[in-house]
Amino acid sequence: MFNAKLYHHDGHEGGHCGHHAENAGMCGHMHGGEPAHSPEEALALLKYMIDHNKHHADELHELAHSLPGEAAELVHSAVGNMDMCNAKLEKALAAITVQDGKEA
């Protein structure tokens, strides 16, 4: 059976960060050591993910209009949560660009 909670777009399964979060911090592994991405890659990926998430939120909003009652309300609520998450990501992007003196 498909488990939407564990599915990622790239086809990998797992929790946040692709790992199960057991005794190793929020995303299932310890952070430290070498960064996973260069600063330029991280900035580009964050910009991409914000735009990507906005497109998904738009699609879900439209989908909600095709759903009955409670399902529509829940999807609309989820879209609101996605908007809040994107706002935090945009703040992170702004913090990075201010810190580095780059334009977002």
Give me the mean pLDDT over the 57-68 stretch: 97
Quote the DSSP letter at residue 37: S
- Work out whether the CA dihedral 56, 62, 68, 73 comes out positive or negative: positive
Residue 95 has φ and ψ, to the nearest 5°, of -65, -40
Are 27 and 69 within one domain?
Answer: no
Are 23 and 57 within one domain?
Answer: no
Q: How many domains does the chain have?
A: 2
Instruction: Decide: helix, strand or coil at residue 7.
Output: strand
pLDDT band at 66 (very low <50, low <70, confident <90, very high): very high
The token pair that represents 58 in the structure block: 């738009």
pTM: 0.62
Structural domain boundaries enclosing 59: 37-104
Are 44 and 76 within one domain?
Answer: yes
Are 53 and 28 within one domain?
Answer: no
Q: What pLDDT does 35 receive?
A: 77
Residues 6+ positions from 28 with CB-CB distance below 8 Å = 14, 15, 16, 17, 18, 19, 20, 21, 22
Are 60 and 98 within one domain?
Answer: yes
